[in-house]
Structure 1
Amino acid sequence: MTDLLIHDAIVVTMDRENRVLENGSVRVSDGTVSSVEPTDPADRDATASRVIDADGKVVMPGLVDAHRHTDFTLVQGLFSELAGDELLTEALSLYHTAESALGESFFEAGWRLACLRQLTHGVTTVNAMDFTPAIGAEAIGDAGLRGVIGPELADLLDPAPADEQIADARRFIETYHGSHGGRVTASIAPGGEAGCSRELWEGVADLRAAYPDLRLHTHLYDSAAADTMAAGSGASDPLDLLDRYDLLDERTLLTHLLHADRDDAGRIAESGAHVLHCPTVYSYFRSGGRSWFPLPSLSEFGANVVIGLDDPFWFDSWDLIQEAKHARLLSNYEYGSQQWSSYDLLEAITVDAARALGLDDRIGSLEPGKRADLIVVDVDTPRHRPFSNLPSVLVNTVTAGDVETVVVDGRVLMADRSVESMDVESVRAAATRERERLESRTGWETSLAGSTPPDESILRRVSSRALLRAARQYGRGALARWVR
């Protein structure tokens, strides 16, 4: 018995043959894609538990957000008009304020809202690095989504010592890896060369040895002082730091690389590590003399480059399709046209991202035997038709608002833009309540016209020894970097 039948769709399979079926049907049984074939007239009258007529619409794999921090979902709009350094310092210190003054309910409401937004934006899988990973794992699992999540480890910024953070990470892995029917998996997530001591890197190496199948997810080269920071752990540069602890290989996810050069790109590609690119966060605050993401060198050496949205409070966006568009525009502006083709971008938010997360045997393309993670996109509108070159339509004119149906593991989570796997009103009510508590307890003034930070900077009112230690050791810029 077919559980789900979608017929008369334009099926973008993202498979190895790059098949696009102009009029195709997708069948799902027991959460798995059983067939992807041209639509037979009999499909329109076929028996299935659920049938979707997708005439004039696109069916494609669910989107994969390759790098996300989610703890601060509820601060949308607070920081949007601040300068970059001011935003970062306020955000980091606000996190510590929220942790002590607002409690778990603040983060629970934020995670549930994040899952609702991801779902309605067609993001079926997220790779997250957060300080509240257990809350996130439960939220992702309950929403019916898929996620890879790791506790962010940073003993130079978190008051907990390195051994305690490693022990907590081990408990998280033992509790949540493979949970919720296998949809939630764990990662090992050191924050990067700036916020991790040598002791913590040693603990991370022990975790990697104990759990060799897990992805290692970290930031790298997103500060001009990256080499100096790596030297604090006895390495010549950040890649050497990972190499020394046997952490640089095909299971490694490297985020940002803003200040990496051509030589670094070659070393990364040779190692097999994957690169997680989040272009908009940097363009939002970029200053003239700053380095930029070395896409041409990474492409030259054949590194796998995929795309993520990073923190929600940077530019208040949850649209991964538009992020892919920005990736191309910004790279073309920096290096010249044709840095990425439209199909390259589709791969970067589906099958290549799944490969980076070690999930490409299960998701990322529509093929028999893979889990049925897919979305239906409405392109039968005056905004899109008539068209040719469908990949360009999907990454140039489609937005997340065109996603109307979302399926994960064969379960319909949203149909015709109506969410079925979450109580939308309760999510919104909790988010509103916790947002109001945040504003009242921190002194932020908000209105429809904007927001204003407290008269006295939050940073000066937070006495966390970790913040002070990081500020003394690395300075304000490195301290600020650690909200990401």
Structure 2
Amino acid sequence: MTDLLIHDGIVVTVDHENRLLKNGSVRVSDGTISSVEPTEPADRRSTAEHVIDASGKVVIPGLIDAHRHTDFTLVQGLFSELAGDELLKEAFALYHTAESTLGDDFFDAAWRLACLRQLTHGVTTVNAMDFTPELGAEAIGETGLRGVIGPELADFLTPASAAEQLADARRFIETYHDTFEGRVTASIAPGGEAGCSRTLWEGVAELRADYPDLRLHTHLYDSAVANTMAAGSGTDDPLDLLDRYDLLDERTLLTHLLHAGRDDAKRIADAGAHVLHCPTVYSYFQAGTQTWFPLPALQEFGANVVIGLDDPFWFDSWDLIQESKHARLLANFEYGAQQWSSYDLLKMLTIDAARALGLDGKIGSLEPGKRADLVVIDVNTPRHQPYSNLPSVLMNTVTAGDVETVVVEGDILMEDQSIESMDVESVQAAAIRERERFQRRTGWETSLAGSTPPDRSILRRVSGRLLLRAIKQYGRGVVNQHL
């Protein structure tokens, strides 16, 4: 018995044959795609448990956000007018004071709101690195979404010691890996060469040896002084740091790479590691003099490059499709036109991202035997009609507002833009309550016209101490370059 039948849609399979069905049907049984074929007349009279008429609509694999931080979702709109150095100071301060100042209620509300944002934007899977992973696993799992979640390990950025963080990470893996019917899995997520001590890297290597199937998810080369930071762990550069601990291979996910060079790109590609590219956050704040990464070299050597939102609450957008558009525009501006085709971008948000996460055997394309993670997009509107070159329409014109239906594991989480898997009112009420409490505790002033950070808040006092500590450790010149 077919549980779900979607008929008469334009089905973009993103399979190994790149099939595109003008009038296609997708059948789902027990959460698995059983067939993807041209629509037959009988499909329109089907007695399947649930039938969706997708006439004039496009069916694609669920979108995959390859890199995201989630903890501070509730500060959206507060930080978006800050300069890059001010943003970094406030962020450091938040990380150091959040647990004692804000508590679990704040972060639980943040994760629930993030799930709502994710769902309504057609993102069925997220690869998250956060300081509150347990709350994230529960939120993702209960909402019906899919997530790879890693506790962010960064003993230079948070009060907890390396030993405490490593113990917490091991406990998280043992508790949450492969839970919620396999929709929630764990990763090992050291913050990067700038945030981790040598002791922490040694512990990460032990975790990797104990859990060889997990992805290693980290930031790399996101600062002009990345080599100096790596030198603190006794290595020549960040890739040498990973190599020393046997952490650079096809299970490794490297985020940003803004300051990597051609030789670094070759080493990454040769190792089979994956690059998680987040264009908007760095172009929005221009954190440093270099704001792009070595795309031509990565493409030349065949590295797998995929896209993530990073910190969507810093720049107020959760639209992964628009993120991919930004990636193309900025790449074309930097290196010349036609860096990526529209179909390349679609693959980066689906099957290529699934491959990076080690999930390409389960999701990322619409073909029999894979789990039914898919999105229905309405293009039968004056905004889109008439059109040709459907991949271009999807990547250049479509926005999250066109996402109509979202399915994960065959379960309908949103249909006709009506959310089925969440109590939207309670999620929004909790978010409003906790955001207001955040503002009272920190002294932020907000209005419809904008927001103003406090002059002498607890955040800025702690931030000042953090900067002094960083200056003592790395020197004023290095810190100024990093900011």
After TM superposition, the score normalised by the length of structure 2 is 0.97
- 1:362-411 Cα shifts (integer Å, max 9, x gaps): 00000100000000000001111111110000000000110000000000
**Residue 216 of structure 1: aligned partner:** 216
**Residue 404 of structure 1: aligned partner:** 404
Change (3 A) 1:477 1:255: farther
SS of 2:158's equivalent?
Answer: coil
**Residue 100 of structure 1: aligned partner:** 100
Paired with 2:131 and 2:184, the residues of 1 have a C-alpha distance of 17
Q: What are the within-5 Å matches in structure 2 for residues 28-177 of structure 1?
A: 28-177=28-177
Paired amino acid for 1:368: P
1:355 and 2:331 equivalent? no
Paired amino acid for 1:438: F
Paired with 2:69 and 2:475, the residues of 1 have a C-alpha distance of 23
1:472 and 2:476 equivalent? no
Paired with 1:430 and 1:99, the residues of 2 have a C-alpha distance of 18
- 1:407-446 Cα shifts (integer Å, max 9, x gaps): 0000000000000000000000000000000111100000
Give 1:92 shift: 2.2
**Residue 188 of structure 1: aligned partner:** 188
Give 1:95 shift: 3.6
Change (3 A) 1:478 1:371: farther
**Residue 388 of structure 2: aligned partner:** 388
- Tell whether the 8 Å contact from 2:85 to 2:287 is kept in structure 1 after alignment: no
**Residue 231 of structure 1: aligned partner:** 231
Change (3 A) 1:479 1:325: same
- Tell whether the 8 Å contact from 1:223 to 1:478 is kept in structure 2 after alignment: no
Paired with 2:319 and 2:475, the residues of 1 have a C-alpha distance of 33
SS of 1:462's equivalent?
Answer: helix
Paired amino acid for 2:397: T
**Residue 11 of structure 1: aligned partner:** 11
Give 1:314 shift: 2.0
Q: What are the within-5 Å matches in structure 2 for residues 241-320 of structure 1?
A: 241-286=241-286, 289-320=289-320
Q: How many residues align?
A: 483
Change (3 A) 1:41 1:481: farther
Give 1:480 shift: 10
Paired amino acid for 1:264: D
- Tell whether the 8 Å contact from 1:67 to 1:307 is kept in structure 2 after alignment: yes
Change (3 A) 1:238 1:288: closer
Paired with 1:94 and 1:443, the residues of 2 have a C-alpha distance of 13
Give 1:467 shift: 6.7
Paired with 1:83 and 1:249, the residues of 2 have a C-alpha distance of 36
Paired amino acid for 1:57: K
> Which consecutive residues of structure 1, in runs of 5 or more, have no partner in the other structure?
none
SS of 1:27's equivalent?
Answer: strand
Give 1:99 shift: 2.1
Paired amino acid for 1:359: L
Change (3 A) 1:321 1:480: farther
- Tell whether the 8 Å contact from 1:13 to 1:365 is kept in structure 2 after alignment: yes
- Tell whether the 8 Å contact from 2:9 to 2:22 is kept in structure 1 after alignment: yes
- 1:303-337 Cα shifts (integer Å, max 9, x gaps): 00000000123211100000000000000000000
Paired with 1:56 and 1:112, the residues of 2 have a C-alpha distance of 32
SS of 1:25's equivalent?
Answer: strand
**Residue 462 of structure 2: aligned partner:** 462
Paired with 2:125 and 2:476, the residues of 1 have a C-alpha distance of 34
The root-mean-square deviation of aligned C-alpha atoms, in Å, is 1.8
- Tell whether the 8 Å contact from 1:11 to 1:23 is kept in structure 2 after alignment: yes
Change (3 A) 1:298 1:35: same
- Tell whether the 8 Å contact from 1:307 to 1:348 is kept in structure 2 after alignment: yes
Give 1:159 shift: 1.4
Paired with 1:346 and 1:439, the residues of 2 have a C-alpha distance of 39
**Residue 364 of structure 1: aligned partner:** 364
Change (3 A) 1:479 1:155: farther
Paired with 1:91 and 1:433, the residues of 2 have a C-alpha distance of 21
- Tell whether the 8 Å contact from 1:157 to 1:470 is kept in structure 2 after alignment: no
Give 1:73 shift: 0.3
- Tell whether the 8 Å contact from 2:177 to 2:185 is kept in structure 1 after alignment: yes
Give 1:477 shift: 9.3
- Tell whether the 8 Å contact from 1:63 to 1:123 is kept in structure 2 after alignment: yes
Give 1:164 shift: 1.3
Give 1:98 shift: 3.2
Change (3 A) 1:379 1:179: same
Change (3 A) 1:482 1:186: farther
Greater shift after overlay, 155-164 or 385-394?
155-164
Paired with 1:48 and 1:177, the residues of 2 have a C-alpha distance of 33
Paired amino acid for 1:48: A
Paired amino acid for 1:143: T
Paired with 2:115 and 2:233, the residues of 1 have a C-alpha distance of 36
> Which consecutive residues of structure 2, in runs of 5 or more, have no partner in the other structure?
none
After TM superposition, the score normalised by the length of structure 1 is 0.97
